Amino acid sequence: MTKSKFFARAYIEILSIAILLFSCSTPSTEGVTPEPGQPWEEAEFDDYGYDREELRVMERFVVDSSNTTGLVVIIDGKMVLEYGDIEELSYLASCRKSILALLYGKYVENGTIDLNKTLANLGFDDVLGLMDIEKTATIDHLITARSGIYHPASNSGDNSADAPPRGSQTPGEYFLYNNWDFNAAGAVFEQETGINIYDALRDDLAIPLGMQDFDRSAQRKSGDTTRSRNRAYHIWLSTRDMAKIGQLMLNDGKWGETQVVSEAWVSKIRSLITPLEEMNPIRMREGDFGYGYMWWVWDGDKHLADYQGAYTARGAYGQYITVIPEHNMVVAHKTKAEYGRRTGWSTYQRILDMIVTNKD
């Protein structure tokens, strides 16, 4: 750790070792955990023109006003700030969806997955049955949350309560952040590739990116299969490995000399598919974000200078992977989901603002 990392571990509150979400059953599919990968190269904040006093203000805010348990800032591919336990594995909540979008790329481009296939083509159904109009939804509609399918999902944490009546929306025409779409996208990935999502996560991302803390045995699905046969593919990563996902996106899919995911695919999934004015429910149009392929894309009037072209993965309780091209920056943030802890978006946005707007 460099001397400029004023979030020295000696000053960090010792986090509880009780792990809320690790007490469940072991995964149904075994896999080999790769050897620990390469650590981040470190650098000084001073090298990038940041004001130390302003960064101390941010430090106080993080400690006093957020529930942050892990924070990493990467600039030019180098770690310039770390706070908390950045090695601990914990639950990423809906950041899993953005990671699945990355995993899709290899298999779309080699022809294994055809995004234009409909659910009828796939022979895809669910416990309550899908309507004929719903079966015309394509894989592309699933991974952009525009399927028009409002079958109950196996897990909560979406906008299903605001869904229109089933069968009322033509697939592709209406956005709704809907876990049925996302979980079905995971099931389709496995059906079409014949590969377990967690094995793909290990082989296609964790190993090529040299993730330091990835543990295949920690990954497992969950959900109520009496509501939907498609379970949620929850993911456990460390904060410093979350940052590697963001850096891969910033690098247009390249890691070192290896093109891990094609530039074209990375460009596609971070592009704006649903602009702010088309977000649903309507109250979401008062925010800052549109939606791409399972990535949130800045599209509001606020923060335009610093956040031009920026995008983020977002998960409940305070899990975020944010890419800010204007500053060649990646920010990974975690709030371990226990004891009612959470770091909401407005708090996290303030942390981001204090990072990106305080250059000399």
- CB neighbourhood size of 258 (10 A): 10
Q: Per-residue confidence at 303, pLDDT binned at 50, 70, 90? A: low
For residue 36, the SS3 value is coil
Q: Residue 216's closest CA among 71, 84, 89?
A: 89
The mean pLDDT value of the chain amounts to: 90
Instruction: Indicate the pLDDT class of residue 302, thresholds 50, 70 and 90.
Output: low
Least confident interval from 52-56, 188-192, 200-204, 295-299: 52-56
Residue 105 — φ and ψ, nearest 5°?
Answer: -55, -50
pLDDT at residue 360, rounded to an integer: 56
Provide the pLDDT confidence category of residue 53 given band limits of 50, 70 and 90.
confident
Would the pLDDT of 45 be above 90? no
pLDDT > 90: percent of the chain: 81
**Predicted local confidence at residue 38, as pLDDT:** 86
Confidence of residue 347 (pLDDT cuts 50, 70, 90): very high
Of 211, 207, 183, the closest CA to residue 294 belongs to: 183
What CA–CA distance (Å, rounded) separates 132 from 196?
A: 28
pLDDT at 145 > cutoff 80: yes
Are the C-beta atoms of 310 and 325 separated by less than 8 Å? yes
Residue 149 pLDDT greater than 60, yes or no: yes
